[in-house]
Structure 1
């Protein structure tokens, strides 16, 4: 599982530690060149784009901002679509702006599955609304239902 969150790069991030306390899976900040292992949650460090290559190798980049952001959900989703094709799952949660909308199109065009938080339940509606607006979203769900859907999809796509 690969996670991008828009954080202020001037401050130390604790998102991996917070998630680790709430999840049964190991959580860590992604490192350039490491191999993405099943069952591990990788979080993009602040001010780094997180990408995954065809062999599951993670790369971090300080290339140009996308929608004034780094890391970018669009770049992550596009790389996941290229690496995993129909096994890819993209999920867009609460957030401002439209990051993720182009990326969900890439995931859908490669046969992957796209989930968006129901904008009515999101604290910040911009990102989920933009994703839903693409027409590429398979499931629009309240936050509390998303984990169960992802677990079911992962089991199905493994087979």
Structure 2
């Protein structure tokens, strides 16, 4: 039995977005990594993108504006109720976790005063995995700690793919290294190779 997206019914909910979704998750050193990846992507990339970088909850939230000047894609701060949109990068704001529903709608949750990491890559990836299934590509970039390790297990379980930045090009290999240790990363790539690999994967996922 097949769903309305042309794939197996087990690939995700019937009303899930009918396009690839790329999640870029990072922490320390992430601005440079995100700039390099997003700057290398085509303006007509047929995918929606979501960014979650650990940020100071009290910070000014400048990330989206900086990235918008460094990529040909549309970039904006995610708002509660936004829909995932092809060619658009939604950036998680400070002091919020971002989740995605089966209709491709964004929900923002207050992070509270204590960790987990803020925003939580694990929370984003788990909801994307459950709602978008094999259309999800997770890219784990430089960062401290092990956030995203649980989330990529969910992505893998639901048929999605996982890439990670390699140690040599990472400012901090904590997050990518934790991802690699799960054994679920399909490709570990240098920073300057990731944009091209994302483009190829998205083209094959459509």
Distance in 2 (CA, whole Å) between partners of 1:122 and 1:63 is: 27
**8 A Cα contact 2:111 2:119, kept in partner:** no
Aligned residues of 1:67 and 1:99 also touching (Cα < 8 A): no
SS in 2 for 1:22: coil
Report whether the alignment pairs 1:85 with 2:138.
Answer: no
* CA distance in 2 between partners of 1:26 and 1:37 (Å): 10
The aligned residue for residue 108 of structure 1 is 156
Cα deviation, 1:105-125, whole Å, max 9, x if unaligned, reads 111111111000002221011
Based on CA coordinates, which of the two structures has the bigger radius of gyration? Answer: 2
> Unaligned stretches of 5+ in structure 2?
1-48
Aligned match of 1:9: 57
Report what 2:180 is aligned to. Answer: 132
Return the TM-score normalized by structure 1.
Answer: 0.95
User: Could you tell me which of 142, 148, 155 is aligned with 2:190?
Assistant: 142
TM-score, scaled relative to structure 2: 0.74
State the number of aligned residues. Answer: 158
Bigger relative contact order (CA 8 A; separation at least 6) = 2
Residues 1:24 and 2:72 aligned together: yes
Unaligned runs of 5+ in 1: none
SS of 2:117's equivalent in the other structure is coil
Q: Following the alignment from structure 1 to structure 2, what is the Cα–Cα distance between the partners of residues 13 and 63?
A: 15
Q: Deviations over 1:17-53 (max 9, x none)?
A: 1111111110001000111111100000011001111
1:112-150, Cα deviation, whole Å (9 max, x unpaired): 110000022210110000000011100100111011111
The structure with more helix, counted as a fraction of residues: 1
Q: CA 1:19 to 1:63, structure 2 compared with 1: closer, same or farther past 3 Å? A: closer
Query: How many angstroms apart in 1 are the aligned matches of 2:169 and 2:113?
Result: 28
Contact 1:35/1:58 (CA < 8 Å) preserved in 2? yes
